[in-house]
Structure 1
Amino acid sequence: MTPFLDWVFRRNGATIDSASLERQIELARSLAREGREHEASRAYSDLRRKHESLEILLEHAALQLELGDHFGAASSATRALELSPGNPKAQQIRDAVLRH
């Protein structure tokens, strides 16, 4: 989540239900495992709007790369590197995009 949105949610008293968040993450993972990659990618996009985390960014970037969405994968990996500079998984995904 961006700092601005985090501030807006905190200011308005909104919280993210961690159990709900975990269910949504598991749904995205389950869709990907079932071969429903496009639906999984949409689920990850929804998750990122609600709660941006390194874990979600990396999983989404890997899925985007698998789908051939190089722009999306590069964008997700770059954002992951902003949150965690030098993250090896994010660098690996970004390098894979650059090789294509």
Structure 2
Amino acid sequence: MEFTSDPEANRLLLENDFAFLTGVLFDQGVPAERAWRAPFLLSRRLGHFDPERIAQDEAGVREAIAQPPKLHRHIEEMPRWLVPVAQRVMTEYGGDAGAI
């Protein structure tokens, strides 16, 4: 299954449930290819893709999303949406986004 033309981005989406969940979240108000590649680019910019760390770092997530080229047009809202999702994954699903 391909979500983007980038094999590494596709692999992350298929192997990491939190990345897939993030792609779903990003897939609003931007082209699908851009939305589904965002988790991979975000992981590169953050140096990780750990929902526990993301849940505690709204400022870092905002900065990573806003870096040129922006990962989403809603650079203020997206961190306010993603961080609570990561927090919920940690508190309600034991860090396993695949359990949703």
TM over 0.5: no
How high is the TM-score relative to the length of structure 1?
0.34
Q: Which has the higher contact order (CA 8 A, sep 6+)?
A: 2
Higher helix share: 1
How high is the TM-score relative to the length of structure 2?
0.34
